[in-house]
Amino acid sequence: RQVEEKQDLQQVMVSGPNLNETSIVSGGYGGTAEGIIPTSSIKGSNMHHSSSSSSMTAEETTRGVAVEKLETVKKWGLNTYKCTKQMISERFGRGSRTVDLELEAQIEVLRDTKRKYENVLRLARALTNHFYNMVQTQHALGDTFADLSQKSPELRDEFGYNAETQKLLCKNGETLLGAINFFVSSINTLVNKTMEDTLMTIKMYENARLEFDAYRSDLEELSMGPRDAVAMARIEAAQQQYQVHKEKYERLRSDVAIKLKFLEENKVKVMHKQLLLFHNAISAYFAGNQQQLEQTLKQFNIKLKPPGADKPSWLEEQ
Protein backbone atom coordinates (compact mmCIF):
# COMPACT_ATOMS: atom_id res chain seq x y z
CA ARG A 1 0.00 0.00 0.00
CA GLN A 2 2.86 2.37 0.79
CA VAL A 3 4.27 1.74 -2.70
CA GLU A 4 0.89 2.62 -4.26
CA GLU A 5 0.60 5.87 -2.24
CA LYS A 6 4.11 6.85 -3.31
CA GLN A 7 3.28 6.24 -6.97
CA ASP A 8 0.03 8.29 -6.65
CA LEU A 9 1.94 11.21 -5.08
CA GLN A 10 4.52 11.16 -7.89
CA GLN A 11 1.74 11.17 -10.47
CA VAL A 12 0.06 14.20 -8.86
CA MET A 13 3.34 16.12 -8.80
CA VAL A 14 4.04 15.34 -12.44
CA SER A 15 0.53 16.12 -13.67
CA GLY A 16 0.03 19.15 -11.35
CA PRO A 17 -0.47 22.72 -12.61
CA ASN A 18 2.38 24.53 -14.33
CA LEU A 19 3.50 27.50 -12.19
CA ASN A 20 3.98 29.62 -15.29
CA GLU A 21 0.29 29.24 -16.10
CA THR A 22 -0.99 30.10 -12.60
CA SER A 23 -3.97 32.51 -12.66
CA ILE A 24 -5.19 35.11 -10.18
CA VAL A 25 -8.86 34.81 -9.26
CA SER A 26 -10.59 38.13 -8.67
CA GLY A 27 -13.91 36.63 -7.59
CA GLY A 28 -14.69 34.46 -4.60
CA TYR A 29 -13.63 30.88 -4.25
CA GLY A 30 -15.34 28.81 -6.95
CA GLY A 31 -16.23 31.90 -9.04
CA THR A 32 -16.71 31.99 -12.80
CA ALA A 33 -13.91 32.10 -15.32
CA GLU A 34 -14.72 35.73 -16.21
CA GLY A 35 -12.87 36.93 -13.13
CA ILE A 36 -9.63 35.14 -14.03
CA ILE A 37 -6.60 37.21 -15.11
CA PRO A 38 -3.66 35.21 -16.52
CA THR A 39 -0.38 36.15 -14.87
CA SER A 40 1.33 36.23 -18.25
CA SER A 41 -0.54 39.46 -19.06
CA ILE A 42 1.09 41.31 -16.12
CA LYS A 43 4.74 40.73 -17.05
CA GLY A 44 5.04 43.56 -19.53
CA SER A 45 2.82 46.05 -17.75
CA ASN A 46 3.74 49.51 -16.37
CA MET A 47 3.31 48.18 -12.86
CA HIS A 48 6.30 45.90 -13.34
CA HIS A 49 8.35 48.79 -14.71
CA SER A 50 7.40 51.08 -11.83
CA SER A 51 8.18 48.39 -9.28
CA SER A 52 11.52 47.75 -10.95
CA SER A 53 12.41 51.46 -10.89
CA SER A 54 11.50 51.74 -7.21
CA SER A 55 13.58 48.67 -6.44
CA MET A 56 16.56 50.12 -8.30
CA THR A 57 16.23 53.45 -6.45
CA ALA A 58 16.04 51.71 -3.07
CA GLU A 59 18.98 49.50 -4.03
CA GLU A 60 21.08 52.52 -5.05
CA THR A 61 20.22 54.30 -1.79
CA THR A 62 21.13 51.23 0.25
CA ARG A 63 24.38 50.85 -1.67
CA GLY A 64 25.22 54.53 -1.05
CA VAL A 65 24.62 54.23 2.68
CA ALA A 66 26.71 51.06 2.80
CA VAL A 67 29.60 52.74 0.96
CA GLU A 68 29.41 55.75 3.29
CA LYS A 69 29.50 53.51 6.36
CA LEU A 70 32.38 51.55 4.90
CA GLU A 71 34.35 54.76 4.35
CA THR A 72 33.65 55.83 7.95
CA VAL A 73 34.84 52.48 9.28
CA LYS A 74 37.98 52.65 7.12
CA LYS A 75 38.80 56.15 8.39
CA TRP A 76 38.16 55.10 11.99
CA GLY A 77 40.32 52.01 11.57
CA LEU A 78 43.15 53.99 9.98
CA ASN A 79 43.00 56.65 12.70
CA THR A 80 42.96 53.97 15.42
CA TYR A 81 45.95 52.22 13.85
CA LYS A 82 47.98 55.42 13.63
CA CYS A 83 47.17 56.43 17.23
CA THR A 84 47.94 52.96 18.56
CA LYS A 85 51.24 52.95 16.69
CA GLN A 86 52.09 56.39 18.12
CA MET A 87 51.14 55.33 21.65
CA ILE A 88 53.33 52.24 21.49
CA SER A 89 56.23 54.26 20.06
CA GLU A 90 55.96 56.79 22.92
CA ARG A 91 55.72 54.05 25.54
CA PHE A 92 58.91 52.38 24.32
CA GLY A 93 60.72 55.69 23.89
CA ARG A 94 60.99 55.53 20.10
CA GLY A 95 58.45 58.19 19.16
CA SER A 96 58.55 61.92 19.81
CA ARG A 97 55.77 63.56 21.84
CA THR A 98 54.51 67.13 21.80
CA VAL A 99 54.69 68.50 25.37
CA ASP A 100 53.39 71.75 26.83
CA LEU A 101 55.29 71.75 30.13
CA GLU A 102 53.32 74.55 31.78
CA LEU A 103 49.95 73.10 30.82
CA GLU A 104 50.96 69.56 31.81
CA ALA A 105 52.02 70.82 35.25
CA GLN A 106 48.67 72.59 35.74
CA ILE A 107 46.79 69.43 34.72
CA GLU A 108 48.73 67.32 37.21
CA VAL A 109 48.01 69.86 39.97
CA LEU A 110 44.29 69.67 39.15
CA ARG A 111 44.25 65.86 39.32
CA ASP A 112 46.07 65.92 42.65
CA THR A 113 43.71 68.61 43.99
CA LYS A 114 40.68 66.59 42.91
CA ARG A 115 41.96 63.51 44.77
CA LYS A 116 42.45 65.55 47.95
CA TYR A 117 39.06 67.24 47.69
CA GLU A 118 37.43 63.85 47.14
CA ASN A 119 38.94 62.78 50.46
CA VAL A 120 37.56 65.91 52.15
CA LEU A 121 34.15 65.11 50.66
CA ARG A 122 34.30 61.51 51.89
CA LEU A 123 35.21 62.59 55.44
CA ALA A 124 32.58 65.35 55.50
CA ARG A 125 29.91 62.84 54.47
CA ALA A 126 31.07 60.46 57.19
CA LEU A 127 30.89 63.29 59.74
CA THR A 128 27.36 64.10 58.56
CA ASN A 129 26.24 60.49 58.99
CA HIS A 130 27.79 60.17 62.46
CA PHE A 131 26.40 63.49 63.62
CA TYR A 132 22.95 62.68 62.25
CA ASN A 133 22.95 59.45 64.27
CA MET A 134 23.97 61.40 67.39
CA VAL A 135 21.13 63.90 66.91
CA GLN A 136 18.68 61.03 66.45
CA THR A 137 19.97 59.49 69.69
CA GLN A 138 19.55 62.80 71.51
CA HIS A 139 16.04 62.97 70.09
CA ALA A 140 15.17 59.52 71.48
CA LEU A 141 16.87 60.25 74.79
CA GLY A 142 14.92 63.48 75.19
CA ASP A 143 11.65 61.64 74.55
CA THR A 144 12.56 59.05 77.17
CA PHE A 145 13.48 61.68 79.79
CA ALA A 146 10.24 63.59 79.11
CA ASP A 147 8.17 60.41 79.52
CA LEU A 148 9.94 59.49 82.76
CA SER A 149 9.42 63.01 84.08
CA GLN A 150 5.67 62.51 83.76
CA LYS A 151 5.71 59.04 85.34
CA SER A 152 8.25 59.60 88.12
CA PRO A 153 6.95 62.30 90.52
CA GLU A 154 9.96 61.90 92.82
CA LEU A 155 12.37 62.70 89.88
CA ARG A 156 10.13 64.99 87.87
CA ASP A 157 12.49 67.98 87.93
CA GLU A 158 15.67 65.98 87.27
CA PHE A 159 14.21 64.16 84.28
CA GLY A 160 12.58 67.39 83.16
CA TYR A 161 15.68 69.56 82.86
CA ASN A 162 17.60 66.68 81.21
CA ALA A 163 14.79 66.45 78.67
CA GLU A 164 15.08 70.20 78.05
CA THR A 165 18.85 69.91 77.62
CA GLN A 166 18.53 67.13 75.02
CA LYS A 167 15.80 69.13 73.31
CA LEU A 168 18.13 72.13 72.97
CA LEU A 169 21.05 69.97 71.83
CA CYS A 170 18.82 68.31 69.25
CA LYS A 171 17.67 71.68 67.92
CA ASN A 172 21.24 73.00 67.64
CA GLY A 173 22.34 69.71 66.09
CA GLU A 174 19.72 69.99 63.37
CA THR A 175 20.91 73.53 62.67
CA LEU A 176 24.53 72.37 62.42
CA LEU A 177 23.48 69.52 60.13
CA GLY A 178 21.95 72.10 57.81
CA ALA A 179 25.31 73.90 57.61
CA ILE A 180 27.32 70.70 57.10
CA ASN A 181 24.93 69.45 54.41
CA PHE A 182 25.33 72.75 52.57
CA PHE A 183 29.12 72.38 52.84
CA VAL A 184 28.98 68.80 51.49
CA SER A 185 26.68 69.77 48.62
CA SER A 186 28.94 72.63 47.54
CA ILE A 187 32.11 70.51 47.66
CA ASN A 188 30.35 67.74 45.73
CA THR A 189 29.38 70.20 42.98
CA LEU A 190 32.92 71.55 42.81
CA VAL A 191 34.54 68.10 42.64
CA ASN A 192 32.09 66.01 40.61
CA LYS A 193 30.75 68.65 38.24
CA THR A 194 33.09 71.63 37.87
CA MET A 195 36.41 69.75 38.14
CA GLU A 196 35.05 66.73 36.25
CA ASP A 197 33.91 68.95 33.38
CA THR A 198 37.43 70.38 33.07
CA LEU A 199 38.96 66.90 33.23
CA MET A 200 36.67 65.76 30.39
CA THR A 201 38.01 68.62 28.25
CA ILE A 202 41.53 67.61 29.27
CA LYS A 203 40.83 64.04 28.13
CA MET A 204 39.68 65.34 24.74
CA TYR A 205 42.83 67.49 24.57
CA GLU A 206 45.07 64.50 25.36
CA ASN A 207 43.37 62.42 22.65
CA ALA A 208 43.81 65.28 20.18
CA ARG A 209 47.48 65.54 21.15
CA LEU A 210 47.98 61.83 20.45
CA GLU A 211 46.24 62.12 17.06
CA PHE A 212 48.27 65.20 16.17
CA ASP A 213 51.56 63.46 16.96
CA ALA A 214 50.44 60.33 15.08
CA TYR A 215 49.73 62.29 11.87
CA ARG A 216 52.85 64.42 12.38
CA SER A 217 54.99 61.27 12.59
CA ASP A 218 53.23 59.86 9.53
CA LEU A 219 53.98 63.01 7.53
CA GLU A 220 57.62 62.97 8.65
CA GLU A 221 58.03 59.33 7.56
CA LEU A 222 56.50 60.02 4.14
CA SER A 223 58.66 63.12 3.67
CA MET A 224 61.81 61.03 4.14
CA GLY A 225 60.78 58.56 1.40
CA PRO A 226 60.78 58.71 -2.40
CA ARG A 227 59.30 61.64 -4.28
CA ASP A 228 57.52 60.00 -7.19
CA ALA A 229 53.97 60.94 -8.23
CA VAL A 230 52.28 58.40 -5.95
CA ALA A 231 54.43 59.39 -2.99
CA MET A 232 53.80 63.10 -3.57
CA ALA A 233 50.02 62.47 -3.58
CA ARG A 234 50.34 60.62 -0.29
CA ILE A 235 52.44 63.43 1.19
CA GLU A 236 49.86 66.01 0.14
CA ALA A 237 47.03 63.99 1.73
CA ALA A 238 49.10 63.50 4.88
CA GLN A 239 49.82 67.25 4.98
CA GLN A 240 46.10 67.99 4.91
CA GLN A 241 45.37 65.53 7.71
CA TYR A 242 48.27 66.92 9.72
CA GLN A 243 46.89 70.44 9.42
CA VAL A 244 43.37 69.34 10.46
CA HIS A 245 44.64 67.58 13.59
CA LYS A 246 47.04 70.41 14.41
CA GLU A 247 44.17 72.92 14.44
CA LYS A 248 42.07 70.58 16.60
CA TYR A 249 44.94 70.10 19.04
CA GLU A 250 45.65 73.83 19.35
CA ARG A 251 41.94 74.62 19.81
CA LEU A 252 41.57 72.10 22.63
CA ARG A 253 44.84 73.22 24.23
CA SER A 254 43.42 76.75 24.35
CA ASP A 255 40.12 75.46 25.78
CA VAL A 256 41.95 73.59 28.54
CA ALA A 257 44.06 76.62 29.46
CA ILE A 258 40.95 78.81 29.73
CA LYS A 259 39.01 76.24 31.77
CA LEU A 260 41.92 75.71 34.17
CA LYS A 261 42.12 79.45 34.77
CA PHE A 262 38.40 79.83 35.49
CA LEU A 263 38.36 76.65 37.57
CA GLU A 264 41.11 77.95 39.84
CA GLU A 265 39.26 81.24 40.34
CA ASN A 266 36.00 79.43 41.05
CA LYS A 267 37.67 76.97 43.43
CA VAL A 268 39.19 79.74 45.55
CA LYS A 269 35.88 81.61 45.68
CA VAL A 270 33.83 78.55 46.62
CA MET A 271 36.29 77.18 49.18
CA HIS A 272 36.76 80.55 50.86
CA LYS A 273 33.02 80.70 51.53
CA GLN A 274 32.58 77.06 52.47
CA LEU A 275 35.56 76.85 54.83
CA LEU A 276 34.42 79.99 56.62
CA LEU A 277 30.92 78.53 56.97
CA PHE A 278 32.24 75.20 58.26
CA HIS A 279 34.53 76.85 60.83
CA ASN A 280 31.92 79.29 62.16
CA ALA A 281 29.15 76.68 62.39
CA ILE A 282 31.30 74.05 64.14
CA SER A 283 32.77 76.63 66.53
CA ALA A 284 29.38 78.09 67.47
CA TYR A 285 27.83 74.66 68.04
CA PHE A 286 30.53 73.29 70.32
CA ALA A 287 30.75 76.61 72.18
CA GLY A 288 27.02 76.27 72.88
CA ASN A 289 26.36 79.61 71.19
CA GLN A 290 22.93 79.04 69.67
CA GLN A 291 22.55 82.65 68.55
CA GLN A 292 25.88 82.63 66.70
CA LEU A 293 25.01 79.28 65.07
CA GLU A 294 21.72 80.60 63.74
CA GLN A 295 23.41 83.81 62.62
CA THR A 296 25.95 81.77 60.63
CA LEU A 297 23.18 80.10 58.64
CA LYS A 298 21.56 83.47 57.94
CA GLN A 299 24.92 84.89 56.84
CA PHE A 300 25.29 82.18 54.20
CA ASN A 301 21.60 82.15 53.22
CA ILE A 302 21.09 78.56 54.35
CA LYS A 303 17.48 77.63 54.95
CA LEU A 304 16.53 74.56 56.93
CA LYS A 305 13.66 72.38 55.76
CA PRO A 306 10.36 74.05 56.60
CA PRO A 307 8.07 72.32 59.07
CA GLY A 308 6.01 69.61 57.39
CA ALA A 309 8.40 69.16 54.47
CA ASP A 310 9.25 65.71 55.79
CA LYS A 311 8.08 63.75 58.77
CA PRO A 312 7.73 66.20 61.70
CA SER A 313 10.82 66.25 63.90
CA TRP A 314 10.74 65.73 67.63
CA LEU A 315 11.17 69.48 68.11
CA GLU A 316 8.10 70.21 65.99
CA GLU A 317 6.03 67.71 67.92
CA GLN A 318 6.83 69.22 71.36
User: pLDDT by residue for the chain (318 residues), tens digit each?
Assistant: 444 444 443 443 444 444 333 333 333 333 444 333 343 444 444 544 555 555 567 666 666 665 666 566 656 676 777 777 767 776 776 777 788 999 999 999 999 999 999 999 999 999 999 999 999 999 999 999 999 999 999 999 999 999 999 999 999 999 999 999 999 999 999 999 999 999 999 999 999 999 998 888 888 888 887 878 888 888 999 899 999 999 999 999 999 999 999 999 999 999 999 999 999 999 999 998 999 999 999 999 888 765 445 444 433 333
Residues 6+ apart with CB under 8 A from 5: none
The residues near 297 (Cβ < 8 Å, ≥ 6 apart) are 175, 178, 179, 281, 303, 304
Q: What is the rounded CA–CA span in Å between residue 114 and residue 109?
A: 9
Neighbours of 110 (CB within 10 A): 20
Region class of 228: left (phi > 0), else alpha (psi between -120 and 50), else beta: beta
- Per DSSP, 23 falls in state E
